[in-house]
Amino acid sequence: MATLKSSTLLKTFGSDIVGDVFSDQGRRGSGSVHVIMGPMFSGKSTSLLRRIKSEISDGRSVAMLKSSKDTRYAKDSVVTHDGIGFPCWALPDLMSFPDKFGLDAYNKLDVIGIDEAQFFGDLYEFCCKAADDDGKTVIVAGLDGDYLRRSFGAVLDVIPIADSMTKLTARCEVCGQKAFFTLRKTCDTRTELIGGADVYMPVCRKHYITNHIVMKTSKKVLDHADKARAESCVAAAII
Ligand SMILES: [Zn+2]
C-alpha cells in the first residue's frame, strides 16, 4: 500500500502547514473518550470522581469541568448527591476552556473530566478536539435522557467517538427495583429545569409509565382549571 511521505506533503502544502501537522503527531490520536450516563441519582458524578481520583493516583494531570448553569451545589466544585466535593471549573461552554485555562497548562493536562455534560452544546466538538488532536483522556458524565426520555443535549452524540460507555442505574423510589429513568414530580415543561430530589425521582419502567400518565392528567386538569379561571375573570371584567 502506498504511504504518504512528509517530503511529498512538503511539496504539496508548504513547510509551515506540514510543520504544524507533524509537530502534533506525538499527541494526535493518543487520547480517548469514556461516557458515563444514566438517570438522576444513579451515581454518575461519584463514578466520575472515582475515575478522576484513580488517574491522579496514577500520576496523571487532571482538570474537572462542569456547566455554570448548574449551581445547585458549590459553583466551582463537582459535588455528588452524597455531598462529596472536588474542585472544578464552572464554564458556559467547553471550547473556550483551553484559552481560559491557559494553553501551556492545557497542553500539560492528561485527563479532562466533564460533569453534567448534557448542558454543553459543544460537547461533541470539544471531545473530538481534546481526544483526537490533543491526546487527552476525556471522561464525560451526564444524563442520556430528559424527563420525557428524549435524548438530552449532546451526550448521545458522543457515543460514536467513545472508547467506552457505562449506563448506570438508580433505585426506583416507588418499588426499589432498578431505575433507568428520571421522573419529574412537577408540571413544569421546560427541558432544562435544574433541581434535586424536590423536583426529580428515579423510577423503573413500570413506575415511569404509571406516574407519567398521572402527571400528564394532573397537568391537563390544572391547565383546564387555569383556562376556566381566566375565562371567568374576562366574564367578570365585561360585566
Ligand atoms: Zn418501580
How many angstroms is it from 196 CA to the middle of ligand 1?
A: 19
Rounded to the nearest 10 degrees, the angle between the axes of helix 15-23 and helix 6-13 is: 140
Give residue 167's identity as a one-letter amino acid code. Answer: K
**Mean pLDDT across the stretch 185-193?**
80
Confidence tier at 29 by pLDDT (50, 70, 90): confident
| Architecture per CATH, 30-168 | 3-Layer(aba) Sandwich (3.40)
Q: Among this protein's residues, is 116 annotated catalytic?
A: yes
pTM of the model: 0.78
Predicted confidence at residue 10, as pLDDT, reads 46
How many angstroms is it from 166 CA to the middle of ligand 1?
A: 22
Active-site pick, 55, 116, 125, 173: 116
Does pLDDT of 9 surpass 50?
no
pLDDT digits (tens, 9 = 90+) for 98-151: 999 999 999 999 999 999 999 999 999 999 999 999 999 999 999 999 999 999
pLDDT digits (tens, 9 = 90+) for 78-102: 666 666 667 889 999 999 999 999 9
Confidence tier at 72 by pLDDT (50, 70, 90): low
Pairwise CA distance, residues 150 & 118, whole Å: 12
How many angstroms is it from 205 CA to the middle of ligand 1?
A: 7
Residue 148 vs residues 34, 194, 217, 222: alpha-carbon distances, Å: 25, 15, 15, 19
How many angstroms is it from 42 CA to the middle of ligand 1?
A: 14
What are the φ/ψ torsions at residue 85 (nearest 5 degrees)? -115, 160
Confidence tier at 167 by pLDDT (50, 70, 90): very high
Domains of the chain, residue spans: 30-168, 171-239
- What is the CATH code for 171-239? 3.30.60.20
Nearest to 144 by CA among 36, 41, 33, 34: 36
